[in-house]
Amino acid sequence: MSNQLSIDQAFINNLNTIIEDHIEDDQFGVEELAIALGISRSQLHRKLNAINGKSTSQFIREFRLEKAMDMLQDNVATASEIAYKVGFSSPSYFNTSFNQYYGYPPGEVKFRNPLNDEDVVEIPPMNDNAEPVLLKRRRFNPRTYVIASMVLILIAIISYYNFAKPETNTTSEIIDPVISSDNSIAVLPFRNMSGNPDNEAFCDGMTTAVISGLSKIRDIKKVISFTSMMNYRNSNKSIPEISDELKVHYILESGFQKSGNEIKINLQLIDGTSDKLIWSEEYEGKYDSVFKLQARVAEMVAKQLKAKITEEERTGIHKPSTKNMEAYANEVQGFYLLNSYSTKNIIASRKYFEKAIELDSAYADAYTSLGRTYSTLGTWYGNLSRKEADSLAAPYFKKALQLNPKNFQLIYSMAEKELFNWNFKSADSLINIFEQQRGKFFFSSFIDLLLCRNDEVIESTHHLLKENPDASWGYHAVLAAYAYYFKGKKESSLYVMRKGLQLAPDQNYYDHFGNIYLAMGDYEKAKDVLETGLQISDKRHASMVIHLAAVYYYLGDEGKSKELLNEVIDRANKGEPEINVFVAHYYARLGNKDEAFKWLDIAYKKHEVDMIWLKADPNLLKLKNDPRYKLLCQKVGFPETKNNFN
């Protein structure tokens, strides 16, 4: 046994040496490592998996991340520079991978230790006899309605259950739409010029504040959302490329520097169509005057865009979200963690929002964000049922609504909540309000996909097919891959999946892309993608297990297929929330309609989130001509459409 351990350790040491010799080569991957060892990829994968249960790509990635951690702790360079030094093709992908592996972004290495088990927070039980719930990671696995005036925003939110939007089934030619208005702008994420990674959160706070201020000015026709702009953090794309993709005329580039109580902001307003500098300015001030600076920036940019500002709008721009600077600092830090796509960070962000509320009980943004932490963990990021998540989030959303019903972050959060509760028209309408000021982004494309508006999905994600897309992919790749598949554009779907896994690999991608490969009948590729996804995931996602069960069935291994199916059925019978729908997917895929509808009925009665995929999951294609399918779609609340899976 000791001899075997020695042989295995020697093999691992050899791998480490080879990878370290090529550490800066972002093209050095599984194929290159196998060649260097003189064995096949499959041999390398089997041997490594037998030793430590890891895939080869996971082993390489973790080796690079651990080297990066050493460099960050030794402060040898900035996080972006280190990303390239350890072989990552883009800092954004490095940040995402580092965050997933260590539980916090690379910028926080010098200021905190990795989150320990005590940071995993228990949600209090709903009653005295219930057990507390331990939050763990569970990843995810225009319109014709026009608001007549901003006054209706208040009415829309308070009565959002009553929204209705006529459905359209028109398709559009897939072409680059022209920039719709000269009076449109995107604010690039503020650059951290201080060299202190701890200021990354403040940079995001400045970006959010300027976007929010500009969005309050009705005469500015389009302001791209913060969520969409985060795709361009560390992007190497040119200003004209970004302008073309976002369909805006102007781009605001900014830098933020903070040293003690002193802050400095550098601004450059650029014509996105010509790449010409229109205006630049520098502001300096004290940190406790940051709200005045944010308002000043919004006003000066609006002036350059020749946008008129009413007195009401000016008052709104200058009204600070809080007068307590310590509360603001906590909210900014919490918001930064909440948007990191790490379950531990989402949980950890709650203490910052709770502290912000403790310091300022009228801080609407903090209530909204705290509600989002619970609501998010009721989907693919946690193990809460939708009912539990809504119950925990509701008081915070209610309080935020009372304090500031026109808050766009609240509108977005409530749109999410409505969608996950099957209220498609309400979600669609609320997102329309958001889009009118913030521009189109992935969530609206997600709704398009769920409602079979595949042409609109493709139109909004067409730029993904351009060369060197780097950070702009994000979850758009998943939406585009499905939309191209349903439109019969197999090669485009394959291209998007290959690029998605190459540029921004994520367990969520492996789940969805494995599902699409399964639908295409490429079972070996589906098996490889899904097994890799399970290996890099921090839990066994029921959707991936079920997809893999179907793959094994078609590969002729019915024993393995049944074993995986029974695993998920057993978990469902033991009360694991939100997974009955996946058992239905298995039976639907195999053509057993009666069993499929039996499990769909269970999922319907439990109000499972993933029922929103009823019209957009290829596993359910064989059910679409069954009268029971149409009836179920009506019961779930889907708007009527002529065709499904179109």
What distance, in Å, lies between the first and last C-alpha atoms of the chain? 58
DSSP label of 131: P
Tokens at 153, concatenated: 């925003």
Residues 204, 209, 210, CA angle at the centre, nearest 5°?
100
Q: What is the mean pLDDT of residues 444-452?
A: 89
Contact 112, 104 (CB under 8 A): yes
What's the chain's Rg over C-alpha atoms? 25
Superfamily of domain 129-165+324-434: Tetratricopeptide repeat domain (1.25.40.10)
Q: What is the mean pLDDT of residues 65-84?
A: 85
- Which pLDDT score, from 0 to 100, does residue 644 have? 47
**C-alpha–C-alpha distance, residues 514 and 531, integer Å:** 9
Q: Which of 382-391, 434-443, 521-530 has the lowest mean pLDDT?
A: 434-443
Q: Which are the contacts of 139, defined by CB distance < 8 A and separation ≥ 6? A: 343, 380, 381, 506, 507, 508, 511, 537, 541
Name the residue among 634, 626, 636 with its Cα closest to residue 593.
Answer: 626
Superfamily of domain 180-320: ABC-type transport auxiliary lipoprotein component (3.40.50.10610)
Residues 442, 447, 451, CA angle at the centre, nearest 5°?
145
Q: Which are the contacts of 526, defined by CB distance < 8 A and separation ≥ 6? A: 514, 515, 517, 518, 547, 548, 551
The class level of CATH for 442-636 reads mainly alpha
Residue 180, amino acid: S
Q: Which are the contacts of 460, defined by CB distance < 8 A and separation ≥ 6? A: 440, 444, 445, 448, 476
**C-alpha–C-alpha distance, residues 37 and 165, integer Å:** 60
**pLDDT tens for residues 268-303?**
889 888 888 888 888 788 888 888 888 888 888 888
Most confidently modeled of 122-131, 154-163, 336-345, 549-558? 549-558
Domain 2-111 belongs in CATH node 1.10.10.60: yes
Average pLDDT, the chain: 78
Q: What is the mean pLDDT of residues 97-110?
A: 75
Provide φ and ψ at 374, rounded to 5°.
-75, -45
Contact 211, 225 (CB under 8 A): yes
Same fold, 129-165+324-434 and 442-636: yes
Which residue has better confidence, 138 or 479? 479
Q: Is 480 exposed, middle or buried (0-12, 13-18, 19+ CB in 10 A)?
A: buried
Strands 262-271 and 222-223: unpaired
- Which pLDDT score, from 0 to 100, does residue 444 have? 81
Strands 133-134 and 122-123: antiparallel
pLDDT band at 179 (very low <50, low <70, confident <90, very high): very low
**pLDDT tens for residues 185-228?**
989 988 888 767 777 888 888 888 888 888 888 888 788 877 77
pLDDT band at 152 (very low <50, low <70, confident <90, very high): very low
Q: Is the dihedral of CA 587, 530, 384, 363 positive or negative?
A: negative
CB atoms under 10 Å from CB of 617, counted, come to 23
**pLDDT tens for residues 359-381?**
999 999 899 989 988 887 776 66
CA distances from 168 to 131, 442, 443, 453 (A): 47, 20, 19, 9
Contact 126, 115 (CB under 8 A): no
Q: How many residues does the chain have?
A: 646
Name the residue among 62, 129, 130, 126 with its Cα closest to residue 97.
Answer: 62
Contact 420, 386 (CB under 8 A): yes
**C-alpha–C-alpha distance, residues 478 and 48, integer Å:** 29
* % of the chain at pLDDT higher than 70: 80
Most confidently modeled of 52-66, 83-97, 521-535? 521-535
SS3 269: strand
- Which pLDDT score, from 0 to 100, does residue 169 have? 32
**pLDDT tens for residues 5-29?**
577 888 888 889 999 999 988 778 7
For the chain, which residues make up each domain, given as ranges? Answer: 2-111, 129-165+324-434, 180-320, 442-636
Name the residue among 157, 184, 140 with its Cα closest to residue 409.
Answer: 157
pLDDT band at 82 (very low <50, low <70, confident <90, very high): confident
Residues 233, 505, 19, CA angle at the centre, nearest 5°?
100
**C-alpha–C-alpha distance, residues 231 and 360, integer Å:** 31
- Which pLDDT score, from 0 to 100, does residue 552 have? 97
CA distances from 358 to 102, 353, 417 (A): 29, 9, 25
Half-sphere exposure of residue 80, counting CA atoms within 13 Å on the CB side?
12
**C-alpha–C-alpha distance, residues 17 and 83, integer Å:** 19
pTM for the model stands at 0.56
Q: What is the mean pLDDT of residues 244-261?
A: 84
Whether the pLDDT of residue 121 is over 60: the answer is no
Which residue has better confidence, 82 or 128? 82
